[in-house]
Structure 1
Amino acid sequence: MLSNLPALQPSNSPTYSINCNGRLVQLDTPKIMGILNMTPDSFSDGGKFNNEKSALKHAEKLLKDGAEILDIGPQSTRPNAEFLSASEEKNRIGNLISLIKTEFPEALISLDTFYAETVKFGFNEGIDLINDISGGQYDTEMFDTAAETRLPYILMHVNPSYETMHDKIKFEDITLEVNQYFAKKTKELLEKGVNDIILDPGFGFGKTVEDQMKMIHEVEYLGFGQFPLLIGISRKSFIYKPLGKSPLDINEETQKLHMKVLEQGAKILRVHDVAEAKETLNQFLRKK
C-alpha cells in the first residue's frame, strides 16, 4: 500500500543536510532541539520563560546541556490554550531572537509559529528554521513565505483547522495516513521551491494513544527516508496519562522512546529536558 505514494521515494542510506540561513548543517549525527516556550499557559512550563531575561538565561542552559537548535514558541498549542494573533506573537517575542543571536551566535534558532507574518518577522531577526505545526493549513501564505525565506521548513502532520487541532481521530492506518499527508504536502512545497524539508509526524495532535504508540514502532517507515525526521514526544500525554503520572515525571519512559526512534533513523529530537536527551543520544552514538 505504502509504495503507491509517488512524492516520497525510498533511500537505502539517506544522508541529510539543511541550509540554515546560509549555514550548511549536517544531520548525519542527530541533533537536540531545545524547547523555549515564551508562553504563560504552556502545559508544563508556562510562565517560566516569558520575558527576555529569563528566556535568555534558559536559552543558555539549553545550549550548555547539549541543544544545537533552540525552538522559540510564542504561542501555546496545548488544548484550550489562549489564541494569539501574529501581532501578539511578535510582541511576545520582542528582541529575543536577536539577543540570542548576539549572545550565542553558534545556536540555530527555530521559530514555532503557524503565521507567515511571524515568520517574516523572525526571518528579519535572524531565525534559521521554520517550525509550522499547521502544515501550511492555518495560514495560506505560509508555504509561499517559506519559499521566499529559503529557510528549512518543518512540516507537521495535524488536523486541517486550528479548531480541530486536538480532535482525536482513530485512523485505519496511521502510518499510511501520515505518509499520504507528507506526500501531498512535500509535493506542494517542492513545487514552490522549498527544498529543505523536515518531517514531524505530530505526536500529541489529534491522535489516539494507540496510534501514537504505533507510530513510535513504525518511525522507520515515515517519509520513506527521503527527508529527515523530527520527533517531538517530550512531556506528551500519550506517555504520561496511561501511566497515571505527570508530564514532569516520565523522563525514564521518554528516554526509552527516544532511543527507539533514534534507532529507527530520527534526526532531530525536540525536547524540554535537554541534558537527559543528550545522554540518550550519546548512548545511541556509542552503540553504533
Structure 2
Amino acid sequence: MNNHSINCNGKLIDLTSPKIMGILNLTPDSFSDGGKFNNEKSALEHAEKLLKDGAELIDIGPQSTRPNAEFLSSDEEIKRLGNLISKIKKEFPEALISLDTFYSETVKFGFNEGIDLINDISGGQFDGRMFDTVAETQLPYLLMHVNPSYETMHDKKKFEDITLEVNRYFSEKTNELLQKGVKDILLDPGFGFGKTVADQMKMLDEVEFLGFGKFPLLIGISRKSFIYKPLGKSPLDINEETQKLHLKVLRQGAKILRVHDVAEAKKTLEVFLHGNY
C-alpha cells in the first residue's frame, strides 16, 4: 500500500498527480444545489459536465448530510439512486463513481451497479456492518473524521488539538479496516462536520500532518460555511477564497479535491502542477 495509487475494481488510479472529485447530489435538500439534479436526465447531464470540466471521479450522494437535512433510510437511498449508477457507467465508461452513503445495504446495491469507491462520512459508526461490507467488496474506502452518531455529527466540539484528535481517530479506524482486509483506504479530515471555524483553519494549516502520510488525503471544503460565514458571503460567492485554500492543501500533499465547481478546481490544479504560483 502506498500514498500514490488506489485500486478501483482492478483499475489502478495513480494519485501522483492529484485528482478532482465532482459532486453529484441527488437530493432535493442539499445546501447549495438541492433539487437541481434529482431526476435522471439532469443527473446524467450534470455527470457529463463534471467529466468534461475535468473530474475523474464523480461522488453520487442520495442523501444530504447538511445540518437539519431530512434523514433517509437505506431503502429510500436505493430508490433515489434507481439505476443511475449503471447508466452513468454505460454512458461514460471512463468515469469513476464514488457512492456517498453511510449504509452497508446501499453499498451492496452500489457495488452491484458498478461503483468504484465508497465514501462513508460516518467512518463506519452509523452502521455496524459497514466495515465488513467494504471488506467484502474490496473497493477503496474513504474514511472521514466525524462525531460518533448521526444525531451529533454537526455538534461543534472544541478539541484540545484537532490534528492530534483526527490522527488518533484515523489510526484506530485504519487499523480496524486493515485487520478486516480492506486494502485501499483514503482519508477525509471532515471539514464542515462538528468542528469550530478556528479548528478547521488550523487543519488547513496542518494538512501535511494529517494521516501520517500513509494514506491518500481527500479534502472537501467546497461551499463550506466555515469559509463563507466569517466573510459574510453566500456559499456561491467564495470561489476565489476556496481556490486559494485548494492550492494551499495541494501544496501540502492533498491527493483529491472534492468539489462542486470542477472547472475552477481544474484551473487551480493546473496552476499547482505547472508551478505558476
- TM category (shorter chain) comes to over 0.9
- Map Cα deviations across residues 38-73 of structure 1 (whole Å, 9 max, x no partner): 000000000000011000000000000000000000
* AA partner of residue 30 (structure 1): P
TM-score by length of 1: 0.95
Q: In the TM superposition, what are the counterparts of 1:100-179 in structure 2 within 5 Å?
A: 100-179=88-167
Question: Are residues 1:238 and 2:192 paired?
Answer: no
* AA partner of residue 46 (structure 2): H
- Map Cα deviations across residues 226-266 of structure 1 (whole Å, 9 max, x no partner): 00000000000000000000000000000000000000000
State the partner residue of 2:72.
84
State the partner residue of 1:215.
203
Percent identity (aligned)? 83
TM-score by length of 2: 0.99
Q: What is the distance in 2 between the residues matched to 1:193 and 1:17?
A: 17
The 3-state SS of whatever aligns with 2:41 is helix
CA shift, 1:127, in A, is 0.1
* AA partner of residue 95 (structure 1): N
State the number of aligned residues: 276
Q: What is the distance in 2 between the residues matched to 1:15 and 1:204?
A: 24
Structure 2 stretches of 5 or more lacking a match?
none
* AA partner of residue 193 (structure 1): G
Q: What is the distance in 2 between the residues matched to 1:186 and 1:29?
A: 24
The 3-state SS of whatever aligns with 1:228 is coil
Q: What is the distance in 1 between the residues matched to 2:9 and 2:103?
A: 19
Give the CA RMSD over aligned residues: 1.0
- Map Cα deviations across residues 95-141 of structure 1 (whole Å, 9 max, x no partner): 10000000000000000000000000000000000000000000000
Question: Are residues 1:284 and 2:241 paired?
Answer: no
* AA partner of residue 148 (structure 1): E
Q: What is the distance in 2 between the residues matched to 1:199 and 1:218?
A: 14
Q: What is the distance in 1 between the residues matched to 2:74 and 2:120?
A: 13
Q: What is the distance in 2 between the residues matched to 1:120 and 1:52?
A: 21
Q: What is the distance in 2 between the residues matched to 1:167 and 1:104?
A: 39
The 3-state SS of whatever aligns with 2:147 is coil
Moved over 6 A (4+): none
Q: In the TM superposition, what are the counterparts of 1:1-288 in structure 2 within 5 Å?
A: 15-287=3-275
* AA partner of residue 277 (structure 1): A
Q: What is the distance in 1 between the residues matched to 2:231 and 2:119?
A: 30
